[in-house]
């Protein structure tokens, strides 16, 4: 069977309180069931489920992408991490957003 290579790049977990209800592990299992090669976790204004998400991705053979839906002037902006520098930058952005 042939599958279309598709990856969801804006997925929220239960760590986005009142916006989603699935655990990071359940999201990864569903992605595996539909043969997604990669999945991005973009919880609202945080990366609270990142460790659980990445562990689940590793166990299911899926490329895990960390990100966040950051609120900027009352509008959502999705930021995705590409490498360690990007992760550090996202952490700084989230800290600044929570401090404002």
b/e string for 16-36 if b means 16 or more Cβ within 10 A? beeeeeebbbebbeebbeeeb
Q: Is residue 3 part of a domain?
A: no
What CATH number is associated with residue 14? 3.20.20.140
Q: What tens digit of pLDDT does each residue of 19-53 get? A: 888 999 999 999 999 999 999 999 999 999 999 99
pLDDT band at residue 72, thresholds of 50, 70 and 90? confident
Q: Is residue 85 part of a domain?
A: yes
Q: Is residue 2 part of a domain?
A: no
Domains: count for the chain: 1
pLDDT band at residue 98, thresholds of 50, 70 and 90? confident
Q: Residue 17 is part of which domain span?
A: 8-99
- For the segment 49-65, the average pLDDT, to the nearest whole number, is 98
State pTM to two decimals: 0.91
């Amino acid at each position: 069977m042939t599958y279309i290579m598709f990856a969801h790049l804006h997925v929220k977990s239960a760590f986005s309180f009142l916006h989603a209800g699935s655990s990071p592990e359940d999201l990864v299992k569903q992605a595996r069931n539909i043969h997604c090669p990669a999945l991005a976790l973009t919880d609202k204004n945080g990366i609270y489920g990142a460790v659980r998400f990445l562990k689940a991705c590793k166990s299911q053979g899926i490329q895990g992408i960390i990100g966040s839906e950051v609120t900027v002037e009352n509008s959502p902006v999705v930021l995705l991490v590409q490498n360690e520098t990007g992760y550090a930058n996202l952490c700084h952005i989230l800290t600044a957003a929570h401090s404002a």
